[in-house]
Amino acid sequence: MLDAAAITQLFILFNAGDKKLINSLNAHNTNSIQGSQWHFSLEQLCSFYQTFYQLEPIAYLSFRKVLFNSPINHELKSLGLCISIAKPAKNVDQTIYCLRKLDL
């Protein structure tokens, strides 16, 4: 089931250093963890979301719609985290995003 809270939970688990998530992420995309940051495209995030939660295939555009219509950034900010652009591109599907700790 497509759920914004479950997407947010991925970011929370990453920040907490959850071994299961980290191992799964490394197996799924070996270049995504850079220091204490998680770098991803929206398509990579969608694919990992499905793999980690062992879900049936989800339409990427549906995933993107749920992501963009959710309060994920607000929720992450309250936890001292943010998603920022690591490598801009001409459209959101090619942009590389980064989960990182907020600068205090």
pLDDT digits (tens, 9 = 90+) for 62-87: 999 999 999 999 999 999 999 999 99
d(CA 72, CA 49): 15
Check residue 91 and give its pLDDT: 93
**What is the largest distance, in Å, between two alpha-carbon atoms of the chain?**
39
At residue 100, φ and ψ (nearest 5 deg) are -145, 165
d(CA 72, CA 79): 11
Rama region for 82: left / alpha / beta (φ>0; ψ in -120 to 50; rest): beta
Q: Note the pTM of the prediction, 2 decimals.
A: 0.92
On whether the CB atoms of residues 101 and 36 are closer than 8 A, the answer is yes
From first to last of the 104 residues of the chain, give the pLDDT tens digit. 688 999 999 999 999 999 999 999 999 877 899 989 999 999 999 999 999 999 999 999 999 999 999 999 999 999 999 999 999 999 999 999 999 999 76
Check residue 2 and give its pLDDT: 81
| Residue at token pair 């994920």 | 72
Residues 6+ apart with CB under 8 A from 16: none
d(CA 57, CA 89): 26
